[in-house]
Amino acid sequence: MTISEVSKKYDLTPDTIRYYEKEGLIPKAPRTKSGIRDFDEETCNWIEFIKCMRNAGLEIEILKQYVELFKQGSKTVKERRLLLEEQRKKLLEKQKDIKATLERLNYKIKIYDEIEQGKRKDFIEKP
Number of structural domains found in the chain: 2
The whole-number pLDDT of residue 97 equals 97
Residues of the chain with pLDDT under 50: none
pLDDT (0 to 100) of residue 118: 85
- CATH of residue 46: 1.10.1660.10
How far apart CA 43 and CA 32 sit, in angstroms, is 15
Q: What per-residue confidence (pLDDT) applies to 125?
A: 74
What number of other Cβ atoms are within 10 A of residue 67's Cβ? Answer: 19
One domain for residues 85 and 119: yes
* pTM for this prediction: 0.80
